[in-house]
Amino acid sequence: MTGEGSNPPKVCLGFDIHYPCYLNPGFRPGMVKGKRNVRDSYFNPHMKEDLGGVIERSFTPATEILLDLLDGGLACSFSISGAVVEHLEEWYPETLGLLSRAATHRNAEVLAQTYYHSVAGQFTDLQEFEAELLMHRDLMKEHFSVVPTTFAHTDYPITPATAEMLMESGIRAAVVEGSNGIAAEIEQNHVYTYLGLPVLVTHCDLADDIAVRFPWRGWDKWPLMADRYAEWLSVSPGDCITLFLDYRVFGDAIGPETGILEFLRTLPSALAGQGIETVRPADAAALPPHGEIEVGDRTPGPEALQRTIMQQSALEALEGAGGLVTDRDTWRCLLETDHIRRMAMRSASCGRPLHAVSHQATHDHFASFMRILSDFEERSATSARSPKAVLSLRCVPPEKAFYFSSHERPAGYAAHSLQELVNMLEFAPDDVIRYHVEREDFSRWIDLVIGDTKLAGKIQGTSDRNELRSTIQKRIDKLWKRLR
């Protein structure tokens, strides 16, 4: 083992370059009327201008600094989403050219990721995950003349299913986040294998010293200089420290007045002063593995992923929408991880800017998201094989959801679709189900909100939990068959 008293560990430095399609928080269904392109109403109408500001504050100065550092011997990696490449190609081609110079540098490595920086890896069916992986690979080959072999798997835990999919797609290593899922239980600063796939585990505390604590004047280590940071890295035990940072940390999330860009500029020389070598992920993954990560007999579920109930509802609705909508590009923009992260009051940072907001802010974002997704599904019904099936299977916004309660006391959860209703009927307490059955709430909601009069009639008067679930699920399955 390396660290204090022996050779310092290597450092594997990576940058995540993405710009989300932020939602339009003021969206209402009436706004789309008469518009050909609904995306203009669903997403931030000022995206071009806002991205331009990020480029000016962060992308351009950080990339210019890194180009000089790469020439000087720094080794690093870039994970560039397909979505941001599209935006840059259309609006800011000169910035794309600048990034291309850095990404194709002899000392840099281009990483693979999902094309839209998406949550598709959390779906039950990984078809979309595979599709985006291959789309991204083709785009990297087209724009940067490289075929990535290391995957940035940092937005949610790696699972046996995603690991198998990666290896089948030609991926030879993955960068996984040290703060979530299985990677939280192992020592950092080592290479491991997971089902035979080499994985590098990010060091979240050291990454957050830059991404979160750097500008905080109340921090007892403020101000953080590159030489002090390099000292910390030099005595961190292990073989290789993996740091994976959101690119917008440098100049945007953390303003240049804090000295963050100068910190980046002086970091390589500080590392060299401590005898620390920087390496690319592919080179780090070739180090002897420290051990095999145990898979066990469980796959991380909602509890392991620490999802909020709003995040779980949105993910289920998103996966279902994949079979209902016709405009795949718009649907894929809704898959971006940023949308789901904003449905939690506080989400893991690990090299990303700290996300901490009020409960009201998370609810407002969730409401906007579900309104947009519901409207999108409804508009897709007109071109579907069975419009009625789409309308019955669609999700609804929070103001139309079925809120479970018992004797006028809210139970704290709600169903936004027939499928979510079935899922919640499995664990809802007996007194809650009895309360709604006596009031005929289930049949009334299915009739008046979902619009499925036939199903509403079938379950009317049904009080048995299992019979309710079975009847609704059979109807759901029948409706899906009409669309295939």
pLDDT beyond 70 at 57: yes
For residues 271 and 6, the model is more confident at 271
Q: What is the pLDDT of residues 326-337, one digit of tens each?
A: 999 999 999 999
If you count DSSP H runs as helices and E runs as strands, how many of each does the chain have, helices first?
A: 22, 14
Q: What is the pLDDT of residue 31?
A: 73
Amino acid at 303: E
Question: Tokens representing 181?
Answer: 């899922």
> Where is pLDDT greater, at 102 or 293?
102
On whether the pTM is more than 0.85, the answer is: yes
Average confidence (pLDDT) over 98-106? 98
Q: What rounded mean pLDDT belongs to the chain?
A: 93
Domains belonging to the chain, first-starting first, are 10-292 (3.20.110.20), 386-484 (no CATH)
Region 382-409: mean pLDDT is 94
Question: How high is the pLDDT of residue 212?
Answer: 95
- pLDDT digits over 73-94, tens only? 999 999 999 999 999 999 999 9
β-partners of residue 160 are none
Query: Is 183 a residue whose pLDDT tops 90?
Result: no
Nearest to 159 by CA among 200, 190, 126, 117: 126
Q: Has residue 180 got a pLDDT over 70?
A: no
Mean pLDDT (whole number) for 287-302: 68
Q: What is the pLDDT of residues 131-176, one digit of tens each?
A: 999 999 999 999 999 999 999 999 888 999 999 999 999 999 999 9
Give the pLDDT confidence of 466-477 residue by residue, as tens digits.
Answer: 999 999 999 999
End-to-end CA gap in the chain: 56
Q: Contact 285/172 with Cβ under 8 angstroms?
A: yes
The answer on pLDDT for 297 being more than 50 is no
Nearest to 348 by CA among 172, 475, 202: 202
